[in-house]
Amino acid sequence: MEILDGKALARKIEERVASEVKTLKEQTGRVPGLAVILVGNDPASHAYVGMKKKACDRVGFYSVTHEMPESISQETIEKTIEMMNANPGIDGILIQLPLPPQIDTTKLLELVAPNKDVDGFHPYNVGRLTTGLDGFVPCTPLGVMQLLEEHNIDVKGKNAVVVGASNIVGKPMAALLLNANATVEICHIFTDDLKKHTLDADIILVGAGVINLITEDMVKEGAVIVDIGINRAPDGRLVGDVDYDAVAPKSSYITPVPGGVGPMTIAMLLSNTLKAAQAHAKEA
């Protein structure tokens, strides 16, 4: 059993990004810019945005966070996005989810300029991913693919089961695996007999937000386990969706939680923002 260490790979990616930021600045005089919209007081959202800000600082990005109250109007957020779309100093725009119930999230995500959509949530980028064209890919599944590649885990021809069908993780994860020629199944809350599907899987990728959803009896010997879930256990620990202690001995590779997929998400956000900045520099 080998650990898929997201922390170590994220550090390598940060070093590469920081080096390319220096080159971009020397050649064009510009620095990648990332703008974040943060609404309300959700502690997890504030923690994530704080981590993203620190990562931007480490690699030499310009970053700005627009903090807004829970009671903010749809119109105010839309005006802020339009302002950022028009700002040549901003290469990437990120809307921290979830948003309050009075806000139409879909409309906001569609308002972000596709060439600044570093989260990969705009329908334009979703369509390009689905059809195998270059674009911006959601950071978490993109990070998973990088982690598999780093450990020379070839998904071609393998049976991959994605547990969870969210627009942010499950669906783009399945699309990336399919583009890499894996045989892909997506399981979700309405899937009958999850174990029947996971037992056949060479690779299980789970992001359902359920503690210990994947247990030792659901995994075949030598499977690759990618735990995308992050949950707060009753004792306060951060845990994933996989019963790690029981499943790890049966697996060939497994991601820890924390320290597996999480650091890769932020590393891919940096990578996507750099990609946007490099494209904008060519257009200037």
The catalytic site residues sit at 52, 96, 119
- Compute and round to an integer the Cα radius of gyration of the chain: 19
Q: How far apart are CA 176 and CA 61, in angstroms?
A: 28
Reduced 3-state DSSP string for 65-83: EEEECCCCCHHHHHHHHHH
- Counting beta carbons within 10 angstroms of the beta carbon of residue 112, is it exposed (0 to 12), middle (13 to 18) or buried (19 or more)? buried
Output phi, psi for 69, to 5 deg: -70, 160
What tokens appear for 279 in the block?
């494209």
What is the DSSP secondary structure assignment for residue 250, as one 8-state letter? G
- CA nearest to 155, candidates 146, 165, 164, 163: 146
